[in-house]
Structure 1
Amino acid sequence: MTTPAAFYDAIDSTWPAAALHRIGPWMLRDGAGGGKRVSAATATRPVTDADIGMAEDGMRGFGQRPLFMIRDTDKALDRLLDARGYTIVDPVNGYITDSATLTDKPIPRVTAFAIWEPLAIMAEIWAKGGIGPERLDVMARAKTKTGILARWNEKPAGTGFVAVHNGIAMVHAVEVLEHQRRQGVAGWIMRAAAFWAQNHGADRMAVLCVEANQPANALYQRCREHSELSGVGNMPIVRFS
């Protein structure tokens, strides 16, 4: 059974910030424009209201708007931020399963390929989904990683990114071209990622999905129904002022 701490550690290692700053009871992340997840502060121990100002000043010091990630043990911090007028943005569902549950059927020929470094068409597909150069830089910072390129109807259809940390493979940045959606492409990306993960020592597969992305959550729910994919709760919740 994967612990929440191991799950969070895999998130940080497979989608890494440009720099980490330990300040008092905080881990501050310099995201270098790579998005909220790599730009959020997390508490490393219980904090007081006075500690929040320390984190805010630190994030502003390297040009970021104060942003906090709330995890399953952060209920007290959640209340402190709420009292300061912070609002919730992008609550996220986390899912994890055995890699073997997604390798129960072979990938059809010329359907999905593990490729690193990304091809130009992969960057183009990501760009159409709002995943630009700064997020590609996040991918490049991960250690053991690959991209997945999917084809459907004999044309490029979608792409994704997967990286491994301590036996957990996390899939990020799954994007399918609009005209290729609702044909199972994202599912094949997940399965191709699982085959690659097994070959790189990962016996667990994980993914994050914002609650508002109903089609993606439906995909992971279907995976749970058919391959015992298990939810690990709504985490993390990101809050910002």
Structure 2
Amino acid sequence: MRRPSTRSALVAVLVGVAVLAAAAVGRTDAAAGGKQPIVRRHGDWPIVSAVTFMSGTRHADTHVEYVLDTETWLGPYNGTPYDRVEELAGLIESSGLKAKAFPDLRPAQWSKLIFNATVNAVAALTGLPHGPHFGEEAARGDLGHLVHALMDEGKAVAAAAGIELHEDPWEMNVLATRRGSAHYPSMLEDVEARRPTEIEMITGSLVREAERHEVPVPLHSTLYRLIKAKEASWALEKGRHE
């Protein structure tokens, strides 16, 4: 089989990340409609879905300090052969980064979705970066109790959807909080900048999937509505100052 060029591999990763960002569950209307403009823009490229936790600080074009130097998970999308996914994972690893190919990416996508729906929303509402507070459960008032309960809700939805998670979101959370560097989730940055958040695509996807399977998710539903209300408050605030 012809080995893909570096350019084609990188485009495949970027397209996959864009598709995943549109719908982490892989079932929503955003996923179906979101990929088409990208495919038309770049031609008939094979599409690979990707889940990544890598984050860091860019010091220069050739210097990035990683906060989370972890695997990027890759899987087929829309009929892309699995051997192309494996090839792409190998290409990423050859650059010094970490990657893992999956024949079915949904278990990994769901792990990331539950993690993101919890961590992003809690950070956005509390103003706290993702750090030790998110994993602490020793005292009654510790934030970790809420984080754990939110992740348990998400796991119940995944189970109802027939998904066996690749990794436990709570364990992923605890591991991340012990790395010694607090991470600012994108939704927290959006709230601080008064920008529209990704709440509809992230938590909204989880809540809609819960409704489809008739699984109660009162905590996620509450966070979803609170952040939607916070977004609405910015318009009122802007109106008062005009």
Q: TM-score range by the shorter chain?
A: 0.3 to 0.5
Could you say which structure has the higher strand fraction?
Answer: 1
Question: TM-score normalized by structure 2?
Answer: 0.33
Question: With CA pairs under 8 Å and 6+ residues apart, which has the higher RCO, 1 or 2?
Answer: 1
TM-score, normalised via structure 1 length: 0.33
